[in-house]
Amino acid sequence: MDKKPTIDDVAKMAGVARATVSRVLNSSPNTSKRARERVIQAVSALNYQVNQQARQLASGASRILALVFAADAEAEPNSYYHSAVELGAIRACNEQGYGLVTHTLDPAKQSYRSSILALADDGRSDGLVLTPPFCDDHELIQALQSKGFPFVLVSAGPDARHLSCSVGIDDRQAGLELGVYLLLQGHRRFGFITGPLDHKSAALRLEGFLEALDNAGHSDQIIEVADGNFTFKSGIDQAEGLLSRNDRPTALVCANDDMAAGALFTAHRLGLIVPADLSITGFDDTPVSQIVWPPLTTIHQPLRLIGSKAVELLIADVMRENGSTTRVAEAHLVSFQLVERGSTSKISVPPSLEALPISG
């Protein structure tokens, strides 16, 4: 395999210092027109960085980043997740003089991968922020890395976090803490509505919850799992099945707030009193969690912070001064918090169960 050109190769061909190449690539003003032209010509001749930065230099760097979300054309949009991440990303872009363009793609269509790679090739943006489920597509990650195109992952699973730079919370730990919380409240029959199957972060929330049950000496027979898709409607539909059982759960855990709001709607329609008859929890701490009644106990995920941190990491990658396509796979985990509200309460526990060990 041919060795990819480095910034030193560009400097040698252009007959300038390495620092001069760096200033040209970063659009710094203190560079002569002649030196700039030489660097641009060398970058083009060597095909330095396949992200087409060289082609942008002739008219100035784009200073545009692309944020890629998943959008299912057959389902209603998530009420807040995308907006919050985007707001955080926009804020960080504004602070550093960048623009942001948002793209939505259907992960159910196989063409999404080629569409994302086209974003890396068209020269209109300097880097990508990939959200779930695109952030866990190993083939896509490796293809972007082979191009040397900067990108950052949001809420990626453990495997993807080992491949590339990422930012998010520890979803498994959050699920575990939620499980410990409900066990300490006395609950021993659970329902769990998961997110889409290709969302690793949602799967980790369930894994953490199951770990809490296992740590307390319980088998998975005390929990019924239903597949949701993060929408309000899926919360309604899946809750109806779970709550119509003779041995219905005393606590219903939802992998996001939209589904929890839907589950709450179903509980009200079935005549259940929340939290006296049923505790319900969400995830994300989006605005909907506070406007439903009763307000939802949920996991606060700092979505705006995640969006802004992703952009900061991406810009740092874009501004790197070497031509290597090998980037450090750093997992930046931000803190989360369990927010207790009115949708959960303690229930009485039989004396035989009170001594069960519960560890987090």
Across residues 155-162, what is the average pLDDT? Answer: 93
Can you give the pTM of this predicted structure? 0.78
Cis amide bond preceding 133, omega within 30: yes
Identify whether the C-beta of residue 193 lies closer than 8 Å to the C-beta of residue 253.
yes
The pLDDT value recorded for residue 74 is 66
Least confident of 116-120, 122-126, 223-227: 122-126
The model's pLDDT over 193-206, given as tens digits with 9 standing for 90+, comes to 999 888 899 999 99
Least confident of 27-31, 83-87, 211-215: 27-31
In this predicted structure, the answer to whether residue 15 has a pLDDT above a threshold of 60 is: yes
pLDDT category of residue 296 using cuts at 50, 70 and 90: very high
* Nearest Cα to Cα of residue 176 among 153, 201, 210: 210
The model's pLDDT over 229-267, given as tens digits with 9 standing for 90+, comes to 999 999 999 999 999 988 899 999 999 999 999 999 999
Least confident of 5-19, 229-243, 247-261, 344-358: 344-358
* Sequence-distant (≥ 6) Cβ neighbours of residue 152 within 8 angstroms: 127, 128, 129, 130, 164, 165, 166, 167, 310, 311, 313, 314, 317
Domains of the chain: 7-48 (1.10.260.40), 64-169+303-329 (3.40.50.2300), 171-300+338-354 (3.40.50.2300)
Across residues 118-134, what is the average pLDDT? Answer: 92
Across residues 26-36, what is the average pLDDT? Answer: 72
The pLDDT value recorded for residue 269 is 97
The model's pLDDT over 48-80, given as tens digits with 9 standing for 90+, comes to 853 444 444 444 456 899 999 998 766 666 668
Higher-confidence residue of 239 and 110: namely: 239
Exposed e or buried b per residue across 301-339, where buried means at least 16 C-beta atoms within 10 angstroms of its C-beta: bbbbbbbbbbbbbbbebbeeeebebebeeebeeeebeeb
The pLDDT value recorded for residue 42 is 87
Residue 73 token pair:
């054309």
The pLDDT value recorded for residue 48 is 80
The pLDDT value recorded for residue 332 is 94
CA distances from 302 to 155, 169, 281 (A): 12, 9, 17
CB atoms within 10 A of CB 349: 16
Token pair 């980790």: residue: 204
